[in-house]
Structure 1
């Protein structure tokens, strides 16, 4: 393990924001991860687990405790069954499954971050979520003091949520196992209208696996959602707000405020309706590139809040609050942040 005191955290996040960690521990094996967690817990030390840093907003003051950076590696295939170490780079792992001709996570191409974070957030994009293919999650249970294996049904997956996100102080993900599909070089069924249109196919069709992967990469790049150090539109945490899921009562109130506008609406569980956060932000007057300071909305996508190079975390949060409050005033809908907040809150 590598241990550093007063270590900068901003370079370890895709936003390039946040103050230092009092102590930064980098673990390269599962045993090192568990040892570091046990040591912090035994000492009563605050602990922050860091993977790819793509879904974190860290306070300008930093983190007064131990930050555990998981740098484990491991990509193992047994037929169509895949096991990834938590520290594997997600985008690289997806690319490898496509080369192997396996479908199931190809529409999650180009998403930054580590494999271990994917079940926590139930990462999803373009009509696909990891919950569809995750079979097991191996994690260290800080309450039980032992390593446990949780089946998919035990992970409580829902939209951008899971058992791990609901109880963030309990589990540290070590490995994630997926059941992929050998579909003779074909993709999973296309579920997302933008992807279907780009590929010239219908919803439910399958296409060449590589073409599906490349189309998603192109779509993400066009929205500034593929990391590029030279492009400040990618200095973000991806989608900053989740798409609101409204109860029947909430949706009726929302619809009454729309007037002649027609908002995107998609069926959600329990009689709810999901609408588009990006649509709400844009229609509330926050267009691409909005903001005159060091933090602005992306010039490519209204759902990403970006660091233009000299921003602070407080600059970013001020913009996030302005957008959230503006959407609430315009439509009566409360936007909820998707990134994890460390030492700060909206």
Structure 2
């Protein structure tokens, strides 16, 4: 099997992640065509090399020792417009999609403003806010299976749910997606976007090096919560993870160069010299404190790459 064209070795990954952490990839390939992706997967399979995918590099902590395999960077940033649909390449940045949609009179994605990810990664983890999820806008997703076969899934077969999808469950690589976006008045929508951006700016540490939310919002029984938190239980029986981290006094908690944001307690910040080891320690520390104090088990929303299985607590 031919070695893929453009394959690089020992490529620093820190600059490809929003947290700016992580050692080198053993092999690294930027792909912009499906054929490139498929031949890279075949090559890796034949060589017995593990594969991981990077989009915007948000929501990921890469081990200090790097990734012992092939890291694929999705560079298929294509947009093909239909009457009220758009076919989007997985490597397309969310901000670019939002801006281009606005130019064509489509909207609906303002709640994603300020999210540094790509369309592929955001569909993979069904990115969302309290009231929206990207899966709600999906018509279909074309994904490449671990064996290199391509399959197109209709939205109903994508198993979208809170921060998860079939693609995450089955380690499929999203190649492109067809989205249905509502038509909007561009002037009004621009105001919505500006407002959403201002709200994000004031409530989240967007200017810091961060991997986005550390934990998903857990489902809890009302009785598990101290009285002071019971009013914050959402109708779907979840509570914002940041409230729990704040409640146990860990806003600003620091291990080495990694700390919990004082602005939003579900964000972890690299103050400049942080390591992946410190990030894992901090997450484990928070989970243990929340478990010991409140009896609630937090789950990471962040993915860990390059760590040995079970080297960190799930």
TM-score normalised by the chain length of structure 1: 0.84
Structure 2: runs of 5 or more not aligned = none
- Of 159, 165, 169, the residue aligned with 1:162 is 165
Instruction: State the 1:77 CA deviation.
Output: 1.3
Instruction: State the 1:31 CA deviation.
Output: 1.7
The answer on whether the counterparts of 2:255 and 2:281 sit within 8 Å (CA) in structure 1 is no
Q: Does residue 149 of structure 2 align to residue 146 of structure 1? A: yes
Task: Describe the superposition over 1:153-178 as per-residue Cα deviations: whole angstroms up to 9, x where unpaired.
Answer: 0100000011111122xx11110110
Q: 1:332 to 1:104 in 2, by over 3 A?
A: same
The answer on whether the counterparts of 1:107 and 1:212 sit within 8 Å (CA) in structure 2 is no
Partner Cα separation in structure 2 for residue 119 and residue 285 of structure 1: 33
The answer on whether the counterparts of 1:116 and 1:173 sit within 8 Å (CA) in structure 2 is yes
Partner Cα separation in structure 1 for residue 43 and residue 91 of structure 2: 20
Partner Cα separation in structure 2 for residue 263 and residue 95 of structure 1: 37
Q: Secondary structure at the match of 1:309?
A: coil
Give the alignment of 1:1-346 within 5 angstroms. 1-143=5-147, 145-168=148-171, 171-185=172-186, 208-226=188-206, 231=207, 233=208, 235-246=209-220, 251-255=221-225, 258-268=226-236, 273-287=237-251, 289-291=252-254, 293-344=256-307, 345-346=312-313
Instruction: State the 1:66 CA deviation.
Output: 0.9
The answer on whether the counterparts of 1:107 and 1:126 sit within 8 Å (CA) in structure 2 is no
Instruction: State the 1:279 CA deviation.
Output: 0.6
Q: 1:259 to 1:105 in 2, by over 3 A?
A: closer
Partner Cα separation in structure 1 for residue 102 and residue 202 of structure 2: 21
Task: Describe the superposition over 1:184-236 as per-residue Cα deviations: whole angstroms up to 9, x where unpaired.
Answer: 458xxxxxxxxxxxxxxxxxxxxx2112111111122223454xxxx4x2x11
The answer on whether the counterparts of 2:89 and 2:177 sit within 8 Å (CA) in structure 1 is yes
Task: Describe the superposition over 1:103-131 as per-residue Cα deviations: whole angstroms up to 9, x where unpaired.
Answer: 22221112111111111100102521111
Partner Cα separation in structure 1 for residue 203 and residue 20 of structure 2: 19
Instruction: State the 1:83 CA deviation.
Output: 1.1
The answer on whether the counterparts of 1:98 and 1:213 sit within 8 Å (CA) in structure 2 is no
Question: Which residue of 2 is the match for residue 199 of structure 1?
Answer: none
Instruction: State the 1:292 CA deviation.
Output: 5.9
Partner Cα separation in structure 2 for residue 40 and residue 281 of structure 1: 40
Q: 1:261 to 1:133 in 2, by over 3 A?
A: closer
Structure 1: runs of 5 or more not aligned = 187-207
Q: Secondary structure at the match of 1:311?
A: coil
Q: 1:174 to 1:292 in 2, by over 3 A?
A: closer
The answer on whether the counterparts of 1:111 and 1:225 sit within 8 Å (CA) in structure 2 is no
Q: Alignment RMSD, CA only?
A: 1.7
